[in-house]
């Protein structure tokens, strides 16, 4: 079974621009979660989507948004980029049936650098 894939792997943007990152979950997985990883804050939860609905949201400003498509693929968007948005953005998928807590499998991440 193919793992979680994320595109692009590397991205360089300038302040004020916006960016869209993509995540394809493991086949059959309906839950996709996004995390931001920085040296200072570690891994922080951004949001989770399940069956095209946002089920949970972390403590990030509204500039961070996401969506999920009917095939479970997910995109994350960051508008008006700031220098502090430079990070590794990780996507994780799980089968997540109802309210159960299931194993999450991570993709390789997208390395975003904001200049």
Partner 1 sequence: QKEVEQDPGPLSVPEGAIVSLNCTYSNSAFQYFMWYRQYSRKGPELLMYTYSSGNKEDGRFTAQVDKSSKYISLFIRDSQPSDSATYLCAMSDYGNNRLAFGKGNQVVVIP
Q: At closest approach, how far in Å is the CB of 89 from partner 1?
A: 10
Q: Which is nearer to partner 1, 43 or 83 (CB)?
A: 43
What CA–CA distances, in Å, run from 78 to 1, 16, 20, 46, 100? 30, 10, 7, 11, 29
Binding site for partner 1 (CB under 8 A): 4, 31, 33, 35, 42-45, 48, 50, 55-56, 58, 90, 92, 94, 96, 99-109
Q: Which is nearer to partner 1, 93 or 114 (CB)?
A: 93
d(CA 17, CA 77): 11
Q: At closest approach, how far in Å is the CB of 97 from partner 1?
A: 11
Q: At closest approach, how far in Å is the CB of 48 from partner 1?
A: 5
Q: At closest approach, how far in Å is the CB of 68 from partner 1?
A: 13
d(CA 64, CA 80): 10
Side-chain-side CA neighbours of 98 within 13 Å: the count stands at 1
Q: Which is nearer to partner 1, 16 or 61 (CB)?
A: 61
d(CA 113, CA 85): 8
Q: Which is nearer to partner 1, 8 or 16 (CB)?
A: 8
């Amino acid at each position: 079974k193919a793992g979680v894939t994320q595109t692009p792997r590397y991205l360089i943007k300038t302040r004020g621009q916006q960016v869209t990152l993509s995540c394809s979950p493991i086949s059959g997985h309906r839950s996709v979660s996004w995390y931001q990883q920085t040296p200072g804050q570690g891994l922080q939860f951004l949001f989770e989507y399940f069956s095209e609905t946002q089920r949970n949201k972390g403590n990030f400003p509204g500039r961070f948004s996401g969506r999920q498509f009917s095939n479970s693929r997910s995109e994350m968007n960051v508008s008006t980029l700031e220098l502090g948005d430079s990070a590794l953005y990780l996507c994780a998928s799980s089968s997540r049936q109802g309210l159960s807590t299931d194993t999450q499998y991570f993709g390789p991440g997208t390395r975003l650098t904001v200049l």
